[in-house]
Amino acid sequence: MRDIDHQDRGGLLGPLKNLSFFARQPITEPLGPRPAAANYRGFHLNDWDLCIGCSTCQKVCDNAAITMVKVPGLPEDPVKGIRNLRPAIDYGRCCWCALCVDLCPTGSIALSCEYVHTCLDSELDSYFILPDARGIHGTPYPKGWAKSTDADLVALDRQPMTEQAPAERIGNFSEIVAGYDAHQALIEASRCVQCGMCHDACPTHMHAPEYIRAIWKGDLEGAVREIYRTNPFAHTCGRVCTHRCETACSVGHRGAPIAIRWLKRYAMDAVDHARVKQIAAEGRADFISGKRVAIVGAGPAGLTAAFDLVRQGHDVTVLEAQAQGGGMVRYGIPDYRMPADRLDRDLDVIISLGVKIRYNTRVGVDLTMERLRAEYDAVVLGVGLWMGRSTRVPGADQAGVKRAVDLLRAVAAGEAIEVPQSAVIIGGGNVAMDSARTLARLQQQRYGEVRITLTALEDLDHFLADADEIREAREEGVQILEARGPQEILMREGQVAGLRTWGVRSIFDGAGRFAPSYEPADEQIHAGDMVVEAIGQAADVALLGEALTEVLQWHRGRLQVDGQGRTNLEWLWAAGDMVRGPDVVSAVADGHRVADSIHAYLSVQEHAP
């Protein structure tokens, strides 16, 4: 019964049995350092090539042991999401929990297999180190605790977005994405590590970490408030933004970046429109400055400037040539990506702050720039890129050859257009995809089938269009041909019958200039009743008038402006696509810049004697 050999009274001999230990070999351990176990949590190692300086390690450090240190000479690129910061560790505070490793988005941090660091009081500074790949003492100890899938705390997978299936969506113009529901939005928002790379990368520096956090907390009005700090085109950018934030997102290094754009869309859709208007009006100046500003063009750039200036108490009038506002967002982006009613909401918020828009008013025709200069204290040009470029191949001037911008504008304006039974699109950018997919929908509605061919100079890897656009266009039945150079519009009986192309050898010459060379032997004929040229757009600057064009400075066909968007004339600014190239969020950023510059100018005027 007794499992232990114990005695109730005890004896003297029992313990003596252990004298046999004197006859045993002693155990010796070598004095030299030994590396610890493979998972040991020793001192920090940091792969500086992988580290992007996002400071997530610092956020999760429970002991405030991590300081972000600026290291000059390291790459720094906000657009790519790279900072020249690196974590420094205070071993007076570190507790070796390795949460910094497990939450590191890139996996650059690890802990070494090294056990000991100690020093005299006079060398206390050695407890504060800037770890690199060599370890605390510069001696080669192997990596111990490092990123593993088991312990990885970064949520790498994105919440899937519900979309209309291709067969379903090709028959209509309603929005393809369904948007997140509250649960999806919460989960997606919870993935964010709050590094702020998105903020740095965004042209208008949106407070994405803040509004994502607010969404996660369920404070949707707070999210809208954060969004309106920098972007009055909130609905628009929640849908069609080029989302550089997501390219820079630190979670994107090993997983899918946070769906920042869809989260913005969710917050905007979830808050009552009347409430959005109230939030946008918060902080608006309660005085009238008495200054008047004219803005030409009611697109994102012009209206953003108008939004800012009105909030600062200035009197703003926007002159718009079209019947409705929104510029290229309305007339260039099809409804299945950017529903017009959402754009209307953005405009409604801006107008509700007191921006006056005069529609159907074409500057240069209905009134001149000179008159604007005389009547207003400052003038902004934000006219967008409305002139489609032509390939100028033989036959390009035929009636059956359309420019993409004209086509898209006509569809958006609800004008009747002749839907071709088959069409050829020239161009590999987003506008080309928009044209192809718009025509595809019209064809499906009219004829029940899609016959679209899209040809572009570039090979697929170098298409300018977003990968999603290309994929979706293909799903919708658009035939995409890469590396084809247009040679001639083919005609039959006075009607456009198709396009003749040659294969592309190269697009640029040795000096990097645009000079495509073709392979004439590789000739193809693409049948189509309509050919759409979508190879680029330019601003129509005829509205300036000859005299003004003469005194303004130009750079490669574009109006030259300074860092604040001001031209060489003190009263004239320019903003948006016409100075930046096409991009909604850059236009918004431009609008802010210009508004700041104008406000400063007007304020100085005020104080001048």
Partner 1 sequence: MRPENYEAQRQPPSYDYELNIGPNHPGIEGNYAFKLRLNGDRVIAGRADAGYLHRGFEKLMEGRLWIQNLAITPRICVPDPVPMEVSYCLAVEDLCGLVVPERAQWLRVMQLELSRIAAHLFIFGGHAATTGMYTPMFWGIADRDLILDLFEEMTGGRVYHIYNIPGGVRRDLPDGFGERVANTLDYLESRLPDYDNLLFTNQVFVHRAQGCGPISQQQALEWGVTGPNLRATGLKFDVRRDDPYLVYDQLEFEIPTEEPGDAWARALVRRREIKESIRIIRQVVARLPTLAGPIRCPIPNPLAWNVPAGSTYTRVESSKGELAWYVVSDGGERPYRTHVRGPSQMHAVQVLEQLAIGCRIEDVAQIMFSLDACPPEVDR
Partner 2 sequence: MTNDLTTWLDNLLAELDGISVRRTSRRRLRVEVASDALPALLELLRGRASFVHLSAISCVDWIDAGQFELVYHCWSYETQSLVSVHTRIPREPGVYISVYDIYTPAAFFERDIHEMFGVWFEGSPDLSKFILTEWDGPPPMRKDFDSEAWVNQHFDWQDYHPDWLKDLEARGGGIAVPPDEQRFSRRTVDET
Q: Which of 129, 258, 338, 454 binds partner 2 (CB under 8 A)?
A: 129
For position 36 contacting partner 1 by CB under 8 A, the verdict is yes
State the nearest-atom distance from the C-beta of 226 to partner 1, in Å: 16
Q: Give me the helix-helix angle, 220-228 and 273-281, nearest 10°.
A: 50
90 binds partner 2 (CB under 8 A): yes
Closest CA to 398 of 523, 536, 529: 529
What phi and psi values does residue 531 have, to the nearest 5 degrees?
-120, 130
What mask of x and - would describe binding to partner 1 in positions 197 to 236, judged by CB under 8 A?
----------------x--x--------------------
Q: Which does 72 bind (CB under 5 to 8 A by kind): partner 2, partner 1, none?
A: partner 2
Interatomic CA distance for residues 389 and 186, integer angstroms: 44
Q: Which of residues 197-216 bind partner 2 (CB under 8 A)?
A: 213
Is residue 192 a contact residue for partner 1 (CB under 8 A)? Answer: yes
**Using rule CB under 8 A, residue 7 touches partner 1:** yes
Which of the 8 DSSP states describes residue 462? G
Nearer to partner 2, 68 or 410 (CB): 68
Site for partner 2 contains 221 (CB under 8 A): no
- Per CB under 8 A, the segment of 14-22, 360-368, 416-424, 446-454 that binds partner 1 is 14-22
For position 148 contacting partner 1 by CB under 8 A, the verdict is yes
15 binds, among partner 1, partner 2, none (CB under 5 to 8 A by kind): partner 1
* Helix 260-270 / helix 208-216 crossing angle, nearest 10 deg: 60
Which residue lies nearer to partner 1 by CB, 191 or 342? Answer: 191
Angle between helices 182-190 and 208-216 (to 10 degrees): 130
Closest CA to 516 of 525, 526, 506: 506
Which 8-state DSSP code applies to residue 367? B
- Indicate which of partner 1, partner 2, none lies near residue 92 (CB less than 5 to 8 Å, by partner kind): partner 2
Q: β-strands 85-90, 378-381: how paired? A: unpaired
Whole-number Cα distances in Å, 130 to 77, 103, 116, 133? 21, 19, 17, 10
**Closest separation between CB of residue 211 and partner 2, Å?**
13
Q: To 10 degrees, what angle do helices 220-228 and 208-216 make?
A: 170
For residue 9 the two structure tokens come to: 């009274």
Q: Which helix (H) or strand (E) holds 570?
A: none
Instruction: Decide which of partner 2, partner 1, none touches 547; Cβ closer than 5 to 8 Å per partner kind.
Output: none
User: Helical H runs in 229-378?
Assistant: 234-240, 244-248, 260-270, 273-281, 300-311, 328-332, 340-352, 369-375
Count of chain residues binding partner 1 (CB under 8 A):
51
Nearest-approach distance from CB 2 to partner 2, in angstroms: 27
Kindly state whether residue 10 participates in binding partner 2, applying the rule CB under 8 A: no
Taking the complex as a whole, the smallest distance from the CB of residue 443 to partner 2 amounts, in Å, to: 52
- Rounded to 10 degrees, the C-alpha dihedral 271/159/164/462 comes to 110
Among 51, 52, 103, 490, binds partner 1 (CB under 8 A): 103
87 scored as a contact of partner 1 (CB under 8 A): no
Q: Distance between CA atoms of 554 and 337, rounded to whole angstroms?
A: 34
What is the distance between the alpha carbons of residues 475 and 444, in angstroms, rounded to a whole number?
14
83 vs 235 by CB, closer to partner 2: 83
Asked if 190 is part of the footprint of partner 2 (rule: CB under 8 A), the reply reads no
Q: How far is the CB of 109 from partner 2 (least distance, A)?
A: 15
Name the DSSP letter for residue 82: B
Q: Is 17 in the site for partner 1 (CB under 8 A)?
A: yes
* 4 contacts partner 1 (rule: CB under 8 A): yes
Task: Check residue 73 for interaction with partner 2 (CB under 8 A).
Answer: yes
Q: Closest by alpha carbon to 253, among 153, 107, 151, 147?
A: 107
DSSP SS3 for 598: helix
Using the rule CB under 8 A, which residue among 14, 37, 49, 70 binds partner 2? 70
Which residues inside 26-65 make contact with partner 2, applying CB under 8 A? 55, 58-65
| Residue 128 binding result from partner 2, partner 1, none, given CB thresholds of 5 to 8 Å by partner type | partner 2
Q: Determine the 3-state secondary structure of 13 from DSSP.
A: helix
Cα separation, 420 vs 444, whole angstroms: 11
Q: Is 97 in the site for partner 2 (CB under 8 A)?
A: no
State the residues that interact with partner 1 by CB under 8 A: 3-15, 17-18, 36-41, 56, 59-60, 62-63, 95-99, 102-103, 111, 144-145, 148, 150-151, 153-155, 187, 189-194, 213, 216
State the residues that interact with partner 2 by CB under 8 A: 55, 58-73, 84-85, 88, 90, 92-93, 124-130, 213
